[in-house]
Structure 1
């Protein structure tokens, strides 16, 4: 628990040496502009113009960018506000109320931790995180935090609505790719994680990162930002800021979507920078395959002109490689590419 930023970060005047990022990865003092080309998909409007229109809009955003903002998505606005409020309340609690959840075991189904993989890092990242399984809710709710008192009730509602939304978006993507309607069934989406990132004010934002440059090992990741900027996406050799839009989700296509689409979808690299004045909170809902599930390029996308780019693998093998590589990017695919 003494490693958690929430325990000590407000008392330090300078950045501890073990949080200083190597020079070639530091954000520096360069002001990063907002990316004006990130697609914004208005799901309600797109569907009102016909399902084909919605399919094409979501698929184009997924294939061109792998990253888009989703508005008018059907998740209740009040629920989003309430979930963010509960998320902030959790990290504001006294240490004794959080201590039982702290763990450095990455396989624990509900845990509070700091940085990315603290014990095995050369340097650390400026964030705390609460992370737990949320599907099926009844199987895991007994492991969730008991405080704040409203936590379990609010996160149950949020997890169910986010599961429904993620499924709808995947159905649109699958339809656009030409996959069978039930392709993204429970085997490929049954591993669902609810997560809260807490980024306290940092004394030297130019030297630190909240999260390193990485691609997500998931199928899809939905991020609810607060009103503080911090998320950046890497595109065409430069970093671009992702502007917070009220009641929107940032949808990030993960590396499993890249594999299943046989490279039609590319999982984009992104990172999180810190600020010296603002306390930033984000909520993450991620869908991944079950650990024993086989992931491979969809057979309907393979023919003589489009050979498979990736081998079939168990998701747990991919996740293990992702953690061991520690570069969290395209390099993880080295072990899974089909050799020419």
Structure 2
């Protein structure tokens, strides 16, 4: 931790340090501006809502959700307390966490800072929420003083909303009630990313191109920066008021036998404003077996993916530095 130089604590940086300059072919280029589907979760027509999820993920890989039941005030309070944390001095952040604390991690760039060739223009606070929220909260930072209370309330609200999405997907795919209950979706993390103002956004990345290794990510962002790769183009996912962005990970792609796809995405930096996002991330427990749901398999629709244990997938995912081509080789049948 002592070697890490939090980007958010740099003063008066006028150029991008060499260790943050990405190779030419991996730098951000032009992104398209398109209208991303916005799904109203207050609708009573669940079949129509699920069809819109299918259509949205097929066309863009993501969708935005309004009327999700999470209060705007709580989202704003969560945003505020995370901004306050990232503005703390480095020693304050380090004091709040420890390396052996699995429920709370703070790092700059990535978990692999010491070994990575090029750094990312971001700082991150990662908190384990479930399966035991009450126990995990006691490992979270005590400063800012309201963090545990506010973020704990946010996690409870997100648990309820995420369960609604998961139940809708289970129902829509025909998996039956309870398919994702228990250990299949019990592990939840909240990742608060901070991307400070960058003197030259054309040289560096906030997050490099990747797909998520989870079931699903539910993201809130305050300013633009998120982009998805679809049909050979990068598309900018601009925030709209009081909406979450939802995208699926590799594991749900496997379970759905390809009906719901993981989408490659990245985060670009900004010369005018810092960007803050927090993602609620849903995983199965590491000992769970992931495979195409049996009810989706028949002669006309054979399994496109193989069966594997989550912990084996995670090991491979990190070994290939979340390279999509190499990861697909691991999961395809």
Q: Taking structure 1 as the reference length, what is the TM-score of the superposition?
A: 0.92
Gaps of 5+ in 2: none
- Taking the aligned partners of 1:265 and 1:310, their CA distance within structure 2 comes to 13
Cα distance in 2 for partners of 1:23, 1:104 equals 34
Counterparts of 1:199 and 1:253, CA distance in 2: 23
The match for 2:332 is 337
Query: How far apart are residue 58 of structure 1 and its match?
Result: 2.7
Equivalent residue number for residue 102 of structure 2? 108
1-structure distance, mates of 2:315, 2:122: 22
Contact 2:40 2:66 in 1 (8 A): yes
Q: Aligned in 2, Cα 1:64/1:260: closer, same or farther, shift over 3 Å?
A: farther
Pair 1:160-2:179 in alignment: no
| Residue ranges of structure 1 left out of the alignment (5+ in a row) | none
Match of 2:182 in 1: 186
Instruction: Check conservation: 2:97, 2:141, Cα contact below 8 A.
Output: no
Looking at structure 1, the residues matched to 323 and 158 of structure 2 have their Cα atoms a distance apart, in angstroms, of 25
| Aligned residue number for residue 35 of structure 1 | 34
**Which whole-Å deviations, capped at 9, do the CAs of 1:301-325 have from their partners, x for residues lacking one?**
1111211122211111111111111
- From 150, 167, 170, the equivalent of 1:171 is 167
Shift of 1:108: 2.9
Tell me what 2:74 maps to: 79
SS in 1 for 2:114: helix
Cα deviation, 1:281-308, whole Å, max 9, x if unaligned, reads 0011000111111111100011112111
Is 1:211 the counterpart of 2:212 in the alignment? Answer: no
Whether the 8 Å contact between 1:59 and 1:172 is mirrored in structure 2 is: no
Residues 101 and 120 of structure 1: is their aligned pair in 2 closer, same or farther, counting only changes over 3 Å?
farther
2-side partners of 1:315 and 1:253: how far apart?
16
Q: Write out the 4+ residue segments of structure 1 that deviate beyond 6 Å after TM superposition.
A: none
Q: Number of paired residues?
A: 329
Task: Please give the root-mean-square deviation of Cα atoms over the aligned residues, in Å.
Answer: 1.7
Give yes or no for the alignment of 1:261 onto 2:256: yes
Shift of 1:104: 6.8
Quickly say closer, same or farther: Cα 1:63–1:188, change in 2 above 3 A. farther
Matches within 5 A, 1:1-340: 1=2, 2-8=4-10, 10-28=11-29, 30=30, 32-36=31-35, 38-44=36-42, 46-47=43-44, 50-101=45-96, 108-116=102-110, 117-135=112-130, 136-226=132-222, 228-338=223-333
> Matched residue of 2:235: which SS?
strand
Question: Contact 1:40–1:71 at 8 Å: present in 2 too?
Answer: yes
